[in-house]
Structure 1
Amino acid sequence: MFFRFVCCLVVVWLISASDESCSEPPPVNNSIFVAKEVEGQILGTYLCIKGYHLVGEKTLSCNASKEWSGPTAKCRLGHCPDPVLVNGEFNSSGPVNATDKITFKCDDDYILKGSSWSQCLEDHTWQPPFPICKSRDCGPPGNPLHGYFEGNDFTRGSTITYYCEEGYRLVGTQDQRCVDGEWSSALPSCEAPKPAPRTALEKALLAFQENKDLCKATEDFMQRLKECNLTMEELKYSLEWKKAELKGKM
């Protein structure tokens, strides 16, 4: 192993001098270039010195012409990569050093998702990770199976209403509102009513046999539906299911 100094570049060869046959690597100030043999191929890697961070491809390969192939990297002053926040801004205008903190703020009509600050660490990383600025408008909502929604405005504050196809009942929140880029409730579902228990169905229908007064019979019928926790939709489904069952036995 031996060392060469090229401008401000330190070159370290981890191969024997007799094997050294590649040209000088492109100089990158404030870096160390380490060359070693990997599976018969000579690869070189740039490592920036403390206080600098790498921009570009850090690894080059020595080709058949004994030249180093690949774009040249740079070591830029500042310990961490430049922060990025689309549709927002942060309080940093130059290179960032270790222990520096920055804060984030989103543009109007966008809401911050994630941490409002991040710190540059010794290992050249930002923690917590950078947030994102999400639009306060909502995307098109989904449709439940056997259901649909009404409404074509998905901007902040708009509302939509879910409905189910005939024969299905809605389970979940029917009316939903766009709040800070999210719909106010989870997607509802449309379920086919289950046949009512035979005893509950018979108990409700007996009201018409027990009272000849139609108004009184209807009143008792509705009361018994309530006592059995049955809805008219469930009753309708149960009667249709019973009808189909009888046809199947004929």
Structure 2
Amino acid sequence: MFLWFVCCLVVARLISASDERCSKPPQVDNSIFIAMKEEGQISGIYSCIKGYHLVGKGTLFCNAFDEWTVPTATCHLGHCPNPVLSNGKFNYSWPVKVSDKVTFMCNDYYILKGSSWSQCLENHTWAPPFPICKSRDCDPPENPAHGYFKGRNFTSGSNITYYCEEGYRLMGTPDQQCIDGEWNSDLPSCELIQEAPKPTAPTKYGKALLAFQENKDLCKAIQDFIKRLTETGLTMEELKHTLEMKKAELKGKKCCPNIVAKKTGHRDTLKNKFSSWF
């Protein structure tokens, strides 16, 4: 059955038999062809009759050779396309009519993702969209940058564990489980471990200040020593000589305990002055 109607829109004018320059359009069974002329361009569209739905592109144009472009449209029985569901089954009445509903169910070891039903609408489409049947097993997991996982079984209920390369720390959930075709946590990431900044070398001023702080007691001892030296009225040379004598005396006692060195004159005087120091 093929009907050819010529109509006009507000911006188009009716194509008369004398004005028509294009040949008869190709036939599409169970359809109506509507042609129009607008701004010198002749076009046409196929519309399926009631109980059929359009599959393909239904719009044609008359080219410069006064020929219609080849149509890709066909009109199939049923107001909406037949439902499809891989790895599952459904029940519906054929041919499909407006407002008809279809229900879906998945095979064993598959889980339904989407709506379990759909309805044929006036515009020849199904709503909600058809669901899919997804395996209960999970797809192989991804590896984060600078990371990896351990585990070879991806079936439902199996577990894997994520690790990071040396120098990186794991951010997220390390242990994940396959539940009804989906891993139960988001993919973790591996974050670079930042090294502690190295201390800056102190300046000359800093070194001097540090040395002064570490030797506060030494500085005070030197100040006390110079003060006591001034009070005795002795010079540094005399003190040096006394210290050398004290050192020799200690060595003599260590090696020859029975020999006692005699100290007379100037040496005894120095000893008396510094007796409280030793």
Contact 2:118 2:129 in 1 (8 A): yes
Per the alignment, residue 92 of structure 2 pairs with 92
Per the alignment, residue 157 of structure 2 pairs with 157
Contact 1:26 1:72 in 2 (8 A): no
The alpha carbon displacement at 1:10 in A equals 3.7
CA shift digits 1:186-245 (9 cap, x unpaired): 112233567xxxxxxxxxxxxxxxxxxxxxxxxxxxxxxxxxxxxxxxxxxxxx61xx42
Query: For the structure 1 residues 165 and 72, does the alpha-carbon distance in structure 2 shift closer, same or farther, using more than 3 Å as the test?
Result: closer
- Counterpart AA for 1:249: A
Per the alignment, residue 31 of structure 1 pairs with 31
Aligned length: 196
CA shift digits 1:26-82 (9 cap, x unpaired): 233442211123554322100123332112331122234433221353323311111
Contact 2:59 2:71 in 1 (8 A): no
Aligned pair 1:45/2:56, yes or no? no
Query: For the structure 1 residues 144 and 76, does the alpha-carbon distance in structure 2 shift closer, same or farther, using more than 3 Å as the test?
Result: closer
Per the alignment, residue 243 of structure 2 pairs with none
Aligned pair 1:107/2:107, yes or no? yes
Aligned pair 1:73/2:77, yes or no? no
Give the RMSD, CA atoms, in angstroms.
2.4
Q: Percent identity?
A: 66
CA shift digits 1:64-108 (9 cap, x unpaired): 443322135332331111112222221136221011100112223
- Counterpart AA for 2:3: L
Contact 1:114 1:131 in 2 (8 A): yes
Contact 1:47 1:58 in 2 (8 A): yes
The alpha carbon displacement at 1:178 in A equals 1.3
Tell me the secondary structure at the aligned position of residue 36 of structure 1: strand
TM-score (normalised: structure 2)? 0.62
Aligned pair 1:11/2:5, yes or no? yes
Tell me the secondary structure at the aligned position of residue 198 of structure 2: helix
Aligned counterparts of 1:35 and 1:16: Cα–Cα separation in 2: 8
The alpha carbon displacement at 1:132 in A equals 1.3
Contact 2:26 2:70 in 1 (8 A): no
Aligned counterparts of 2:192 and 2:30: Cα–Cα separation in 1: 70
- Counterpart AA for 2:70: G
Aligned counterparts of 1:107 and 1:158: Cα–Cα separation in 2: 21
- Counterpart AA for 1:104: F
Per the alignment, residue 143 of structure 2 pairs with 143
Aligned counterparts of 1:152 and 1:89: Cα–Cα separation in 2: 32
> Which segments of 5 or more consecutive residues in structure 1 lack a partner in the other structure?
1-6, 195-239
Q: Following TM superposition, where does structure 1 have runs of at least 4 consecutive aligned residues deviating by more than 6 angstroms?
A: none
Tell me the secondary structure at the aligned position of residue 68 of structure 1: coil
- 1:124-139 equivalences in 2 (<5 Å): 124-139=124-139
Aligned counterparts of 1:19 and 1:108: Cα–Cα separation in 2: 64
Aligned counterparts of 2:22 and 2:56: Cα–Cα separation in 1: 21
Aligned counterparts of 2:39 and 2:28: Cα–Cα separation in 1: 26
Q: 1:245 aligns with which of 195, 198, 206?
A: 198
Structure with the greater alpha carbon radius of gyration: 2
Comparing 58-67 with 97-106, greater Cα deviation is found at: 58-67
- 1:228-243 equivalences in 2 (<5 Å): 241=196
Aligned counterparts of 1:145 and 1:153: Cα–Cα separation in 2: 22
Comparing 28-37 with 107-116, greater Cα deviation is found at: 28-37
Per the alignment, residue 185 of structure 1 pairs with 185
TM-score (normalised: structure 1)? 0.69
Query: For the structure 1 residues 249 and 49, does the alpha-carbon distance in structure 2 shift closer, same or farther, using more than 3 Å as the test?
Result: farther
**Bigger fraction of residues in strand:** 1
Aligned counterparts of 2:31 and 2:6: Cα–Cα separation in 1: 11
Aligned counterparts of 1:20 and 1:169: Cα–Cα separation in 2: 76
Contact 1:12 1:32 in 2 (8 A): no
- Counterpart AA for 1:140: P
The alpha carbon displacement at 1:16 in A equals 3.3
Contact 2:170 2:188 in 1 (8 A): yes
